[in-house]
Amino acid sequence: MSKILLISIIYFFSAYALAEPYTPSNGHKVTSVFAGYLDKEAFFEIDGAGINPAECTGTPIAIDPQKSDVSHVLSILLYAHASGKSVDLQIYNESCLGGHRVLRRIKVNNS
């Protein structure tokens, strides 16, 4: 029993240590959505500059298929764009994909 508890504790802390930090950026409108790339990534643009904690060089924000379910994020982006609703984003602090900031999470606001 103690071995299982010890393994669980080690797994929990190692998974937490590998999690990349992120920075929130709230209240943006989606202005463009780009999809259809062979590597399954997608990109989108927001009003204003937004945040760029990793200092990536590209303007659009990337949806990395290794870190997010691209089809889910695309559905949310298209809904927000079509309805004019604002979104709250979380952007990874250390990742760039092809020079673009990488999205961690997106939330559609009711406004």
**Alpha-carbon gap, residue 66 to 73, rounded angstroms:** 13
* Confidence (pLDDT) at 14: 43
* Confidence (pLDDT) at 18: 58
H/E run at residue 95: strand 86-97
Give per-residue pLDDT as tens, 36-80: 999 999 999 999 888 999 999 999 999 999 999 999 999 999 999
Q: Which domains does the chain have, with CATH numbers?
A: 22-108 (2.40.50.110)
* Confidence (pLDDT) at 7: 56
For residue 22, list its beta bridge partners: 92
111 or 5, greater pLDDT: 111
* Confidence (pLDDT) at 49: 86
* pTM (2 d.p.): 0.82
Residue type, 69: D
Q: Could you give the residue ranges of the DSSP H alpha helices within 2-111?
A: 2-18, 70-83
Please say whether the beta carbons of 27 and 109 come within 8 A. yes
